[in-house]
Structure 1
Amino acid sequence: MKTSVFSMTGLAGSLCMLCGTLYAANASAASYKSVGNDPAVMYSAPSERGRKVFIAPRGMPVEVILNQDGWTKVRDATGDLSWMQTKALTAKRNVVVTAASAIIYAAPADTAAAVATAEKNVLLEWQAAAAAGWVKVRHQDGTSGYVKASEIWGE
């Protein structure tokens, strides 16, 4: 069986190259969203008068911390907190690979067939939580399967 290897490309990959060390969040109590179709400015305060701290590329996953008057306080994969306009976020969830390489399996088990490999910082669309410790994901090319939750952020 042929397996695919995904590498980071484009703006989203460039963003994640800047990530360095990644923050491990407690997924059981977290709420995640992704930046919508356009890049979004991340601010130091819930106002356009706040300091611009980063331009988040489309699809970037964020953890929602607080909503306030059209603004959302978010945590990114590095653990940094900032504010974004709520309208810049979408309910569509993406995750980012944090392991050096994550195997995407046909079923949520180490013994299942490998369908693809995703390198560190590749964005995958979150599909659903699966068996304990597993997440169903889909790559932008349509390949889908299961990845270990410990190898991604944004779940």
Structure 2
Amino acid sequence: MKKLLMRLPLLLVAALAVPAGAAEFADGTTDLPKPRFVSIKGGSAMMRSGPGERFPILWEYKRVGLPMEILKEYEIWRQVRDPDGTIGWMNKALLTGRRTGIVRDQQRLLYVAPDMKSRIAWRIAPGAVVNITLCEDIWCRVSKDGKSGYILRGQMWGTYAREKIEG
């Protein structure tokens, strides 16, 4: 896939990195809302103290899919906050728009329907990263390792209160 992308015209490559309906400007910034949630694309992502490679590395993240919150944009750099509240800068190439969440505090129950009276689908450990497929009101439908279920939005980090997610 990487070789294929290298052969595509530059304009098309830029379009692939930004969701449909969003614009990417010549300086590398977008018209996407800030703040917003994204996730780490690959197996190694460096968080720096400032927007550029000359700034020291604060952290190296090795968890694909870890949710991050974009606070600001500066050229190809994104100021991000991690689930622990640490703020730093990452190159936009290290991030993806795929929505994920991280389970907070303790083991949580996931239900077969968005209702605490429905059957329990499975239990999930704190710190688990899940794919978010749907969020409405106080519930989100998530999946991990072929299992899916509904979790209360407040039991994970990676969405805003009442944010609607379809995907």
- TM-score interval, smaller chain: 0.7 to 0.9
**For 1:34, what is the secondary structure of its paired residue?**
strand
Task: Report the equivalent of 1:153.
Answer: 157
Q: Aligned partners of 2:42, 2:81: CA distance in 1, in Å?
A: 19
After TM superposition, give the deviation of residue 37 of structure 1 in Å: 2.3
TM-score (norm 1): 0.77
How many pairs were matched up? 125
Task: Report the equivalent of 1:137.
Answer: 142
Q: Aligned partners of 1:81, 1:30: CA distance in 2, in Å?
A: 13
Structure 1: tracts of 5 or more residues without a match: 1-28
> Which entry has the higher C-alpha Rg, 1 or 2?
2
Task: Report the equivalent of 2:40.
Answer: 35
After TM superposition, give the deviation of residue 30 of structure 1 in Å: 4.2
Structure 2: tracts of 5 or more residues without a match: 1-33, 160-167
Is 2:92 the counterpart of 1:93?
Answer: no
Q: Retained in 2: the 8 A contact 1:38–1:88?
A: no
**For 2:117, what is the secondary structure of its paired residue?**
coil
Moved over 3 A (4+): none
Letter in 2 for 1:150: G
TM-score (norm 2): 0.72
**For 1:138, what is the secondary structure of its paired residue?**
strand
Q: Give the superposed CA RMSD.
A: 1.2
Q: Retained in 2: the 8 A contact 1:73–1:82?
A: yes
2:83 to 57, 77, 83: 77
Q: Aligned partners of 2:55, 2:118: CA distance in 1, in Å?
A: 49
What percent identity do the matched residue pairs reach?
26
Q: Aligned partners of 2:149, 2:133: CA distance in 1, in Å?
A: 9
